[in-house]
Amino acid sequence: MVDVLGGGGPEAGTGPGAPDSLVPIGRNWGMWPVVLLRSVGHAAEQLRDFLAAAEEQRHTGSGLREVVERFAADPWLLEAMCWQNPTIVNSWLGRYATEGVGGTKRPTYYRGKLLTLGVYLQRYATRNETIGFFGPIAWAHLDPRRDLLVEVGGKGERVRHTTYFEPWALTALARAWEAEPEVRWHLPVVVNQAGALRDDAFVRPRRGPHPLTDDQRLVLRHLGGSGYADEVLGALGADWDRARLTDVLDTLQRAGCLHWGFDITVVGGSEEVLDAQLARLPDEPRHRLRADLHQLSRLRRDVCAAAGDATGVWRATNALAESFEAISGVDSSVQKRTNPDCRELLYHDVTVDWDATLGARAVDGLAGPLELLMETCRYASWRFAAGIEDRARTALRRDPSLEAVFDELLPELDDRRPGRIVRSVMAEVRRIVAELLAAEPGVEAPDGSRVHRSAALRQRWLAAFAAPRAGWSAAELHSTDIMLARRDDEHLWVLGELHTTINPLDYRFCLENQPEPGRLEALIDAATPPERFIAAVPPTPRLSPRTAPPPAAYLPDKHRYWTLWPRTSMPASVPKLSCVDLRVVERDGTVVVVDGTGRVVTRLTEFIGEFLSLALYNTLSIFPEADRMPRVRIDDLVVQRVYRRIPVREFAPLLAAPPSRVELAGFFRDRGLPRYSFVRVPGEPKPVFCDAQSWITTHNVVRLVRKVADRPDAMVKVQEMLPDFDDLWLTGPDGRTRTSEFRFVLQDRQGTGGDGVR
């Protein structure tokens, strides 16, 4: 059985999702037949028109005002900004869009507005993503029986739009409501699933045992795993009253033994879960609070129904924000200001009707280089797992408890700052690749690319990256983002990102918006071993139904969740293995987790595999960072785009210039850089698009560089835009081109070995 965590999903079956439907890639790999087509919401031409108009009028006040008015009137942009930054919409953009700019102000005022619009337009027209209608969901499939490269059906029109509350918003409601004593008395009480009840203590990971009074022990035994305060009181007998039980529950909550309050999940379905808990309340608070929740739900649906009507979305989002603030007492925009990982009140999924087919020419052209890359991914996961085992051997000699070993490993599991072991593995991979490419130097193409042939590399490459198995079961799946650059009858494939050990099609938004319900679940089920251990992690601002890492498909007969945390993002109804009695030992040369009886649970690397995946998934690059790199191809796949790294100190002459006087064209030309590029400034999470001949995008780059002006030796990376504007092939409803990329999933048929210890 397969379910989607937090919401109903179709059951898995056979047929189109069966493992025999994988498209063979080399000796040991299969490509999933379902492919995510990622794109942008706005046309590339719209960005170019905007930049050209702003450039033409850069020194004339009236001309700048006309440019602001023209592009502020774009209903698509207004709708997008209602979702992403309603503060700007309410302060000026909404008024300009509906009433015109009006009046006369100094040129600097209009330049400021254009700079703001430029920041958003460059994202909406150049960054492929999956978020809302400015990063819509579309699909492709592989059909190697057809002799074609790519064929696209549909126009990119919206066919499905769904909205959801961000978890922080529902959590804010819950915290406000549970402050009422009469409400709280009828709410769930969930025992810390990471802990364990002993005769005279409640044992908690990381905090040690909490000594129990007789009353506390009795209450915990009545609760079992979870219950409701009013029901527990009824079961305790006449000697108990609310005051006595409240004192016990409050004490146990402060001690981290339980949680008493609304149980809000992060993984999905939170609105329904909250409503079901409100339904247990007495009449007065039940009717009042459910009426408030249903009002917010209705306003959320109003926002969804207004999709495509920019002013309607503006009105509906404002009405929702006002109602939310009145009901919760929380500023609807405060979260994003205080924590950049938070978002506005709602997130949304948008599916468009593109339906692409990738045929034999696409599969054959990608197969050779993808096999080499996938062999590299397996090797990297195996070496990373081996390094983690070595580190664990040292840790377990000091304290073999799982929590102690896990805590010692945490610096190696950081998904934002690679640990020592990841860095060592990456250095090893890059050294091997450099040796392989030096042995087969390839040829120089007319465009200056260094071109290698996979057939010439293959034998040495497979031998150099030979690995007995994937490092853990989740590491049997990898993903690549690949763009198509197509001009006339010529084409190139371009590697965007290589995501190791993660299956991005196992995200909630993929499962809920797939074109053939059940197909992804069947592929996921077939790729999952009989037993897979998954950490139930605590809720954080970074974790939401939009961002929660795989798996989202819940396989209750295969998944075994464990936790070290008193509260998790998973529903309390999902069983979780307590870790208080688990230890880490070495058996027959393998580091394993054992339970209190000494029985082997699984390999340590399998037990913490989700953390290993998150630490490794976005770090693999086969080339080291250098001051400059040429374009490198394997067959027709560009595996490295041209880039140059420039010290911040070289930008110093540009930093003092006003926006309309910033000139990057000559600066880039002197360094051999193209007009169109993506620039990554230290400390910024994403690169930004730059047209070196546009004062708007160059000012944005300089603005970001100013933030690190006190770090003169920090390096700014400038990488060519490939595909270029002239290489785009996907068109939207307006007939204008969009940037796009295919997200492929590749499965390791070699697996993790058959030694029975996972």
Is there a contact between 132 and 83 (Cβ–Cβ < 8 Å)? Answer: yes
pLDDT, tens only, 236-246: 989 999 999 99
Question: Would you call 105 exposed, middle or buried from its count of C-beta atoms within 10 A (0-12, 13-18, 19+)?
Answer: middle
Q: Mean of the pLDDT values across residues 529-536?
A: 94
- CA-angle at 90, arms to 87 and 93, nearest 5°: 100
* Residue 14: pLDDT over 60: no
**Closest residue by Cα to residue 666 from 688, 693, 644, 648:** 693
Alpha carbon of 492 to those of 134, 362, 458, 499, 575: distances in Å?
25, 10, 20, 20, 48
Of 22-31, 98-107, 273-282, the range with the lowest mean pLDDT is: 98-107
Q: Give the model's confidence band at 755: pLDDT under 50 very low, under 70 low, under 90 confident, else very high.
A: very low
Alpha carbon of 376 to those of 27, 98, 367, 422, 477: distances in Å?
14, 54, 14, 14, 13
pLDDT at 494: 98
pLDDT at 604: 98
pLDDT at 685: 86
pLDDT at 81: 94
CA distance from start to end of the chain: 22
pLDDT at 467: 96
Is there a contact between 137 and 36 (Cβ–Cβ < 8 Å)? Answer: yes
- CA-angle at 504, arms to 499 and 510, nearest 5°: 160
pLDDT at 541: 64
657 versus 698: the higher-pLDDT residue is: 698
Q: Mean of the pLDDT values across residues 61-78?
A: 95
pLDDT, tens only, 459-516: 999 999 999 999 999 999 999 999 999 988 899 999 999 999 999 999 989 999 999 9
Is there a contact between 365 and 635 (Cβ–Cβ < 8 Å)? Answer: yes
By three-state DSSP, how is residue 197 classified? strand
10 Å Cβ neighbour count for 715?
17
Both tokens of 728, joined, read: 């785009």
pLDDT at 758: 37
Is there a contact between 608 and 407 (Cβ–Cβ < 8 Å)? Answer: no
pLDDT at 619: 86
73 versus 488: the higher-pLDDT residue is: 73
**Closest residue by Cα to residue 74 from 59, 53, 58:** 53
pLDDT at 340: 56
Phi, psi dihedral angles at 72 (to 5 degrees) = -65, -25
Q: Mean of the pLDDT values across residues 724-738?
A: 96
pLDDT, tens only, 182-231: 999 999 999 999 999 998 999 998 888 999 999 999 999 999 888 999 99
| Distance separating alpha carbons of residues 600 and 584, to the nearest angstrom | 9
Mean pLDDT of the chain: 91
Is there a contact between 382 and 546 (Cβ–Cβ < 8 Å)? Answer: no
pLDDT, tens only, 302-332: 999 999 999 999 999 999 999 999 999 988 7
